[in-house]
Amino acid sequence: MDSEAVTKYSKLHAKPLGLFLQYGTAGFRCKAENLNHVMFRMGLLAVLRSKKTKSTIGVMVTASHNPEEDNGVKLIDPSGEMLAPTWEEHATFLANAEEPQLHCVLTEICQKEAVDLQNKAFIVIGRDTRPSSKELSQAAIDGVSVLGGQYKDYGLVTTPQLHYMVRCHNPYGTYGTPTVEGYYQKLSKAFLELTMQAASQMDGRGGLKIDCANGIGALKLKEMESYLSERLAIHLANDGREGKLNHMCGADFVKVHQKPPVGLQMNPGERCCSLDGDADRLVYYYVDTAGRFHLLDGDKIATLISTFLQELLIKAGQTLSFAVIQTAYANGSSTGYLEQTMKVPVHCAKTGVKHLHHKAQEFDIGIYFEANGHGTVLFSKAAEDKIRYQAKEEKDLQKREAAKMLENTIDLINQTVGDGLADMLVIEAILVLKNLTIAQWDALYTDLPNRQLKVKVADRRVISTTDAERRALAPPGLQEKIDHLTQKFKLARAFVRPSGTEDIVRVYAEADSQENADKLAHEVCLAVYHLAGGFGDPPKAV
């Protein structure tokens, strides 16, 4: 390792004295002006990770659904997954080292992980459309270059596209062709084959209106549209020409505020959806003839996909283990519908994609979606091999047809991470194949009214949880208070969990009516404020 070169370049990307940042589930995120040194150092770390794994590693510059003035970075592991937890610790340690300690920290990581510095390193880099992203991505490239790593800069891509590129490189070409064109070709081929038998029905269904959050999704949808052979008519709103990224639009805004984004004209019964700023989240919605807004979030998406896959598995005669993985945020009605009506096993994991992804890997087919619309479907290697073999060799025509549809679904889904574009095509295919309107999909079950709020606290670490974050262990008395408050309402449930990135506590409540869900959420907020060191003014009623 050339310590002089590292020191020289590090001074060009100097760390502000005393600044501390934590690598969380989504990597590093904060105001863009505080990230230059972090980007440089994540370039360094990506090279070490690549040399350690003898694989291609990804560096994605994005802050997803955060405001435009924020930015962030995350590293992507060889199979397109989130960075391994021990390396998250190295990332935090490296990002926070003061300048004189930088070389020592790098050496320590190499020793701990037995990194052979003679190995080659190859890094792929992508960025979102934020004004700060180009300069920050150059800082990451500087970090890669100073340690002698080779790299490919994909420029403007969605986060899921970069995850896809990483997976395609490890080993090269087995998952797909590692180009943006290769991504579009793989998805469009699967979509067109899957919907072939229902092509005539698609004409009369009307187009899909897509809120692109003024982010990268708009650019990529415009590129992908020609690959879909006019099978799906799309109309883009918030495409970045006017509004600010994620401002009053995007999947997170729609989910949290439970109302449509600005800039999207809606007529009764029209299918509408929103991506987030880096296109890894997706929610659907519509207004009915009475003008009421209906949100179809990650729970509804998981239900639709699992119903479709279960029917195909039965038709194909496949006996594969199958489960839906949810978090504590999943609506109680969705859990009840899946378990009681569909007889699909449901498991609860801690909030955060890596926890859901890990749990989903325990099954032949694991479906996971967070309520916020981030999710995907994982197929084990054995399940995929069985399905592909049956699609080719099965003698029974009906079973072979079902297996072929399963095979196309495998190819349409981005198994590396939640992908708003891929998930959108899966949903559109299922709706046309099952001949469902968005209102009929919505009517599979009725969500319990719910409310999400947050409480500022002096130190979020005073809150600790158990049972996949559904119960509070500390501070003392908080869970007992939540239990007492919940008993006052019908069909009620509430939980609290600390934010992973800032000193706030997130509160979730559901009950038999919106009024009661709002009351319960507010009362739980007050309990958190008084028992967990609330900061500033007490929470106000919704």
Which DSSP helix (H) or strand (E) runs through 403?
Answer: helix 397-412
What CA–CA distance (Å, rounded) separates 300 from 255?
12
Are residues 237 and 359 located together in one domain of the fold?
no
3-state secondary structure 135-155: HHHHHHHHHHHHCCCEEEEEE
248 or 229, which is more confident = 248
Give Cβ neighbours of residue 306 (< 8 Å, ≥ 6 apart): 322, 324, 338, 342, 344, 367
Query: What percent of the chain shows pLDDT beyond 90?
Result: 89
Q: Is residue 174 part of a domain?
A: no
Average pLDDT, the chain: 94
pLDDT at 230: 81
Which DSSP helix (H) or strand (E) runs through 412?
Answer: helix 397-412
Averaged over 280-300, what is the pLDDT? 96
Q: Is 371 annotated as ligand-binding?
A: yes
What CA–CA distance (Å, rounded) separates 125 from 165?
10
Are residues 454 and 386 located together in one domain of the fold?
no
The 10s digit of each residue's pLDDT in 100-136 is 999 999 999 999 999 999 999 999 999 999 999 999 9
Are residues 278 and 330 located together in one domain of the fold?
no
User: Count of domains in the chain?
Assistant: 4
Contact 326, 334 (CB under 8 A): yes
Averaged over 507-534, what is the pLDDT? 96
**pLDDT over threshold 90, residue 26:** no
pLDDT at 18: 84
Given the residues 64, 132, 188, 306, select the one marked as catalytic.
64
Are residues 277 and 319 located together in one domain of the fold?
no
| Domain stops at, among 294, 320, 354 | 294
Q: Is 503 annotated as ligand-binding?
A: no
Are residues 138 and 189 located together in one domain of the fold?
no
Q: Is 500 annotated as ligand-binding?
A: yes
Are residues 355 and 257 located together in one domain of the fold?
no
pLDDT at 250: 97
The 10s digit of each residue's pLDDT in 376-424 is 999 999 999 999 999 999 999 999 999 999 999 999 999 999 999 999 9
Q: Is 167 annotated as ligand-binding?
A: no
Q: Is 498 annotated as ligand-binding?
A: yes
Q: How far is CA 402 from the centre of its chain?
A: 29
| Domain stops at, among 262, 294, 326 | 294
**pLDDT over threshold 80, residue 202:** no
| Domain stops at, among 156, 173, 206 | 156
Lowest mean pLDDT among 13-17, 136-140, 461-465, 473-477: 13-17
pLDDT at 258: 87
Sheet holding 322-326, edge to edge: 346-348, 322-326, 365-369, 375-379
What CA–CA distance (Å, rounded) separates 38 from 46?
12
pLDDT at 533: 94
Q: Is residue 443 part of a domain?
A: no
Q: Is residue 539 part of a domain?
A: no
Are residues 367 and 467 located together in one domain of the fold?
no
Contact 296, 264 (CB under 8 A): no
pLDDT at 171: 85
Give Cβ neighbours of residue 101 (< 8 Å, ≥ 6 apart): none
Contact 353, 440 (CB under 8 A): no
pLDDT at 3: 83
Task: Kindly state the greatest CA–CA separation across the chain.
Answer: 69
Are residues 230 and 373 located together in one domain of the fold?
no
Are residues 270 and 308 located together in one domain of the fold?
no
Are residues 9 and 103 located together in one domain of the fold?
yes
Sheet holding 282-287, edge to edge: 234-237, 208-211, 272-275, 282-287, 293-296
**pLDDT over threshold 80, residue 35:** yes
pLDDT at 352: 83
Q: Is 64 considered catalytic here?
A: yes
Q: Is residue 429 part of a domain?
A: no
**Residue 220, domain CATH:** 3.40.120.10
Averaged over 31-45, what is the pLDDT? 96
206 or 98, which is more confident = 98
**Residue 373, domain CATH:** 3.40.120
Give Cβ neighbours of residue 252 (< 8 Å, ≥ 6 apart): 65, 246, 276, 281, 372
Averaged over 348-358, what is the pLDDT? 89
**pLDDT over threshold 70, residue 199:** no
Domain, as residue range, for 213: 182-294
Are residues 270 and 305 located together in one domain of the fold?
no
Q: Quick one: which of 290, 291, 289, 259 has its CA closest to 274?
A: 259
Q: Is residue 428 part of a domain?
A: no
Q: Is residue 131 part of a domain?
A: yes
**Residue 463, domain CATH:** 3.30.310.50
Are residues 146 and 23 located together in one domain of the fold?
yes
Q: Is residue 329 part of a domain?
A: yes
Q: Is residue 445 part of a domain?
A: no
Residue 302: which pLDDT band, with cuts at 50, 70 and 90? Answer: very high
